[in-house]
Amino acid sequence: MTNVIESLAVPGATSGVPAARMVQQHLRWPTERFYWAVLDGSSLPRNHSGRRRREQLGYLFENVLPGVSIEDIQTAYVAMDEDGQHVIACGVPTTMIREAVDGSSFSDILTLSPAEIPQFVKSRERADVDPEQFNLLTGDLEPNAVRQSRRRMFGWAVAMLVLISGALTIGLQRRIAQSHEQLTAVQQQEGEIHRHVLGSIPAASSQPPHLRLLSELRQLQQTRQPSGGTLSPSIDIVRDFETLMSAWPESGSVFMQTESIVITDQSIAIRGRVPTMADVQVLADALTSDGWKLQQPQSNQVTDRSTKSSVVELSLWLDRASSAVIDSPGLAEAGGS
């Protein structure tokens, strides 16, 4: 199986060949000045591209060249289909191009391509190829003007990249500066809050302000925790307190200096001082109500240190009627003091 489907090989310079035509710095030579072939690239590795594939196509093209080495031919390849299985090869001796380009009349040309595609290529299917695709002024034969233009474009691209990078860098620096300013402002506000809540911070304190604030918060939370067990949600302690206050004797009948009133879901404990033992009984009778059972009052007559007068320390314990009687070590201690 051959890899050259069809070829047309002609000498590089023949008598009677029409002169080359110059159209706006783009040189067009007659078809007869070129070597042509249609190559079968289906046997070539599909993973090769670029320079490696050109070398492989050159080996196939060399098979139809009449005693000419592929190294002496300037070539151009154009695929006839998307998968690249059929490739049109076009070539011309490098010496012929140099002789033409070195002439004064061709000193400013930019491209060199055939004026048209040979008839044997046109007759094939999917052979609608533009002759301008076969530009042979590439590689070592690339015009200085094209090379300089590409360098200028590369320089412009680099310059634009530098400008864009500089703009992005400046923008990022501004963003970072704004972030630092905002962070500083937040830290200042945080410091003001710490000074307002904690007051002046001792110089010897090694604890950061936010940790001191957290410690203060935990201490406050601990003081708000109930001393007893968990309250039953079915018991309304506020209502019990209202009932207790409504049953409290009028100020004219009993004068009591209350020290504490502790209400739980099962009991009420009252501690305080009254002037006489008779006031203890009046207070106990007044606080006895439905739903509560009064335990034996604990009382102890002592001398008030501030007034040097005799007073009675009193402890009352009321149990909810539905609960069992609970002995209170705390009240017993108060009564025996």
> Which pLDDT tens digit goes with each residue over 232-289?
544 577 787 887 787 788 766 777 888 888 888 788 888 888 888 888 888 888 887 7
Distances from the Cα of 146 to the Cα of 25, 29, 110, 117, 140, angstroms: 12, 20, 7, 25, 12
Predicted pLDDT of residue 203? 58
Distance CA(129)–CA(87), nearest Å, equals 11
Q: Which of 69-73, 74-78, 138-142, 153-157 has the lowest mean pLDDT?
A: 138-142
Confidence of residue 4 (pLDDT cuts 50, 70, 90): low
Residue 152 is encoded by which pair of tokens? 């200028």
Q: Calculate mean pLDDT across residues 143-168.
A: 87
Q: Calculate mean pLDDT across residues 308-318.
A: 84
Q: Is the pLDDT of residue 300 over 90?
A: no
DSSP string, 101-164: HHSGGGTT--EEEESS--HHHHTSTT----GGG-----GGG--HHHHHHHHHHHHHHHHHHHHH
Distance CA(18)–CA(90), nearest Å, equals 19
Q: Which of 120-124, 150-154, 243-247 has the largest mean confidence?
A: 150-154
Predicted pLDDT of residue 226? 58
Q: Which residue has the higher pLDDT, 173 or 215?
A: 173
The pTM for the full model equals: 0.42
Predicted pLDDT of residue 179? 93
Pairing status of strand 86-93 against strand 257-263: unpaired
Give residue limits of the domains in the chain: 4-149, 237-336
Q: Is the pLDDT of residue 15 over 50?
A: no
Predicted pLDDT of residue 316? 85
- Would residue 248 be called left, alpha or beta, if left means φ above 0 and alpha means ψ between -120 and 50 degrees? beta
Partner residues linked to 263 by β-bridges: 268
On whether the CB atoms of residues 72 and 92 are closer than 8 A, the answer is no
Confidence of residue 14 (pLDDT cuts 50, 70, 90): very low
Predicted pLDDT of residue 182? 93
Q: Is the pLDDT of residue 45 over 60?
A: yes
Q: Which residue has the higher pLDDT, 83 or 48?
A: 83
Helical residues (DSSP H) of 20-84, grouped into ranges: 51-62
Q: Is the pLDDT of residue 127 over 80?
A: no
Burial of residue 124 (number of CB atoms within 10 Å: 0-12, 13-18, 19+):
middle
Helical axes 144-198 vs 209-223, angle rounded to 10°: 40
Predicted pLDDT of residue 102? 66
Task: Report the mean per-residue pLDDT for the chain.
Answer: 76
Q: Which of 15-24, 132-141, 321-330 has the largest mean confidence?
A: 132-141
Predicted pLDDT of residue 181? 92
Q: Is the pLDDT of residue 25 over 80?
A: no
Q: Which of 334, 240, 242, 237 is nearest to 295 (CA)?
A: 334
On whether the CB atoms of residues 282 and 249 are closer than 8 A, the answer is yes
Side chain identity, residue 188 = Q
Predicted pLDDT of residue 165? 93
> What CATH number matches the domain at 4-149, 1.25.40, 3.30.420, 2.20.180, 3.30.1360?
3.30.420
Q: Calculate mean pLDDT across residues 316-327.
A: 64
Residue 31 is encoded by which pair of tokens? 């078809």
pLDDT tens for residues 169-208? 999 999 999 999 999 999 888 888 877 777 766 655 667 7
Which residues are CB-neighbours of 258 under 8 A, at least 6 positions away? 270, 271, 272
Residue count of the chain: 337
